[in-house]
Amino acid sequence: MPTSLIDSAVFRDIFSTEAMRRVFSDGNRVQKYLDFEAALARAQARLGVVPEDAAAEICRHCHVDQIDFTKLKAQTERIGYPVLPVVQQLVALCRDGLGEWCHWGATTQDITDTATVLQIREALALIEADLDGIADALAALAKKYRDTAMAGRSNLQQAVPLTFGYKMATLLAGFERHKQRLRELRPRVLVGEFGGAAGTLSSLGGRGLEVQAELMKELKLGQPAIAWHTVRDSIAEVGCFLGLVTGSCGKIAFDIKLLMQTEVEEVYEPFHEGRGSSSTMPQKRNPISSVYITALTSVVRQQAAALLDAMVEDHERATGPWEIEWIVLPEIFCLTAGALAQTRFMLTGLQVDDKKMRANLDLTKGLIVSEAVMMGLGPYLGRQYAHDLVYDICRQVVATGRPLLDLLAENAEITKHLDRAALARLCDPANYLGEAGAMVDRVLAMRKA
């Protein structure tokens, strides 16, 4: 019975995705061990290090469906690591003792680390597809609502007007940076491992680097400048990258939860029958995806910290920190996949109420444009005096509930310089959006560059 939500029959497609679970499944991991062994045999046969018929026989059996997983489990529990049991089964499958050429000059960690990198390569392709999908959804929202005015909020209070398109474009810019980060980290991270017992390739009699180069060509991975058995910055970098990505998802979820509040009601998650229902309150439409994203983001962040702990390893082969990666790296990727899938679903079906956005702009009787009024009066009254005067009038709005425009138009100091029509223009939130539209356009143009 699965006990993790990642594998739960009920929750698994809420907290993760089938595609990402497949990448980090037992079957795919063992297949990656076998891919390494086959690539090593082919590379060494090409260089004359092992016989060609041995390489052919080894490759013939490097298929996960030939591995006995019951036996693998028992042997792993006895030995402590799964690679040697896989190699033992592979050797036994080969005819005429040719399997003895298998694993020539390699060590357990070479296979384990390279298999992990191969899994990371597959997993990052899935991450990239979701990043692209989220960026596309944000771009569509930014373009559609480029000029849709809404309240900007600071310290949970209305601040000055902006547009919903601008809000989406700020998030889009962050996801474009994530896409750039992914492009930049791939060459650092997608590097194989082949160093032998202590990383020096001493067992290959002076041909180690030659074999290493051919092996990495076979696997289409970067060749390491030097062994990285206990120098784990590239693995930690992946975890930190996923922490950044899910952090952005968490930001989106937080904002949407706040905008869904009954007192706000400016956006809603996608709706279908029963989604977000309460078991007792028929009127409720609770956030769902946002809630899951919040939880997933928090756990990924904690697990990324564990990968940073795993960097502190002893000498040339670690006694424990390495195994931290075995535990948390699959979880980080699986939970990140869940957060990205929920974010993509939410944004592609997001319901935006532009009428409520406008109504909320008028909620404070014009106070949201007090800065606009102050700046408009500044050239006539001086900025500081205009600030103090508008501040006092704002207090009157709060005390009386009367519109800011009316109180401004009744002030003789102000009407000496601006009539009611001019003041009305200052008090229209749609006239105080600054460079929001231009900034949206600039972010959208970045995607085409």
* pLDDT for the residue numbered 285: 80
* pLDDT for the residue numbered 448: 76
Residues 6 or more apart from 410 whose CB is under 8 A from it?
none
How far is 324 from 88, CA to CA, in rounded Å?
A: 26
In the block, tokens 């298999």 appear at 115
List residues bridging with 161 in a β-sheet: 151
SS (H, E, C) 348-395: HCCEECHHHHHHHHCCCCCHHHHHHHHHHHHHHHCHHHHHHHHHHHHH
How far is 235 from 333, CA to CA, in rounded Å?
A: 12
SS (H, E, C) the chain: CCCCCCCCCCCHHHHCCHHHHHHCCHHHHHHHHHHHHHHHHHHHHHCCCCCHHHHHHHHHCCCHHHCCHHHHHHHHHHHCCCHHHHHHHHHHHCHHHHHHHCCCCCCHHHHHHHHHHHHHHHHHHHHHHHHHHHHHHHHHHHHHCCCCEEEEEECCEEEEEEEHHHHHHHHHHHHHHHHHHHHHHHHHHCECCCCCCCCCCHHHCCCHHHHHHHHHHHHCCECCCCCCCCCCHHHHHHHHHHHHHHHHHHHHHHHHHHHCCCCCCCEECCCCCCCCCCCCCCCCCCCCHHHHHHHHHHHHHHHHHHHHHCCCCCCCCCCCHHHHHHHHHHHHHHHHHHHHHHHHHHHHCCEECHHHHHHHHCCCCCHHHHHHHHHHHHHHHCHHHHHHHHHHHHHHHHHHCCCHHHHHHCCHHHHCCCCHHHHHHHCCHHHCCCCHHHHHHHHHHHHHC
In the block, tokens 């030659």 appear at 210
How far is 373 from 396, CA to CA, in rounded Å?
A: 15
Is 4 labeled as catalytic in the residue annotation? no
**What are the two backbone dihedrals, phi and then psi, of residue 285, each rounded to the nearest 5 degrees?**
-135, 85
Please check whether residue 43 is in contact with residue 211, taking contact to mean a CB–CB distance below 8 angstroms: yes
How far is 331 from 303, CA to CA, in rounded Å?
A: 8
Spell out a b/e string for 287-318, using b for 16 or more CB atoms within 10 Å of the CB, else e.
Answer: bbbbebbbbbbebbbebbebbeebbebeeeeb
Among the listed residues 188, 278, 383, 395, the single catalytic one is 278
**What are the two backbone dihedrals, phi and then psi, of residue 149, each rounded to the nearest 5 degrees?**
-70, 145
CATH 3.40.50.1360 fits 14-106+195-227, yes or no: no
Whole-prediction pTM value? Answer: 0.94
Closest-CA residue to 33 (of 101, 98, 88, 97): 88
Q: pLDDT (tens digit, 0 to 9) for every residue of the chain, 449 residues total? A: 888 999 999 999 999 999 999 999 999 999 999 999 999 999 999 999 999 999 999 999 999 999 999 999 999 999 999 999 999 999 999 999 999 999 999 999 999 999 999 999 999 999 999 999 999 999 999 999 999 999 999 999 999 999 999 999 999 999 999 999 999 999 999 999 999 999 999 999 999 999 999 999 999 999 999 999 999 999 999 999 999 999 999 999 999 999 999 999 999 999 877 675 666 776 668 899 999 999 999 999 999 999 999 999 999 999 999 999 999 999 999 999 999 999 999 999 999 999 999 999 999 999 999 999 999 999 999 999 999 999 999 999 999 999 999 999 999 999 999 999 999 999 999 999 999 999 999 999 998 76
Sketch the domain layout of the chain as residue ranges.
Answer: 14-106+195-227
How far is 331 from 31, CA to CA, in rounded Å?
A: 19
Instruction: Say how far residue 439 (Cα) sits from the centre of its chain.
Output: 24
* pLDDT for the residue numbered 274: 63
Please check whether residue 35 is in contact with residue 112, taking contact to mean a CB–CB distance below 8 angstroms: no
Among the listed residues 46, 207, 285, 317, the single catalytic one is 317
How far is 163 from 260, CA to CA, in rounded Å?
A: 17
Is 278 labeled as catalytic in the residue annotation? yes
